Amino acid sequence: MEGDFYRPAPARHRVKDGLKRLVKNRRRLVVIVLGFILLMYLLFDNKGILARIGLEMKQSEMEQKVEEAEAETKQLQQRLKGLQGDKQTIEKTAREKHGMAREGETVYRIKPQE
């Protein structure tokens, strides 16, 4: 029946009342402030969570680059082995990439149309 005669307090008064109660209970206020400071320290410090996530992302990128470089190295080593003993492969590479020809041969190059 009491609720019938009184209006509920506006939201801004409820917030003010909550802050007043929080200030009155100093222990709770100290714990909340220290918790907030600790949370900010853990998140934004040089050794914090966000810095760690960034470093882990960089590490995964670097590992991927290393894997790509190792694959390229392996491919080049296989190509080198193929070139070391196969005279036909050496001749083909010399003709195609370096434009070389045997004595007496004439090489004609066709330019692609634009």
Tokens found for residue 61: 């990128």
For 24-42, the pLDDT digits (tens) are 788 888 888 899 998 888 8
Q: What would the two tokens of residue 98 be? A: 């370096």
pLDDT at site 91? 82
To the question of pTM greater than 0.85 for the whole model, the response is no
Burial grade of 29 (CB within 10 A; 0-12, 13-18, 19 or more): middle
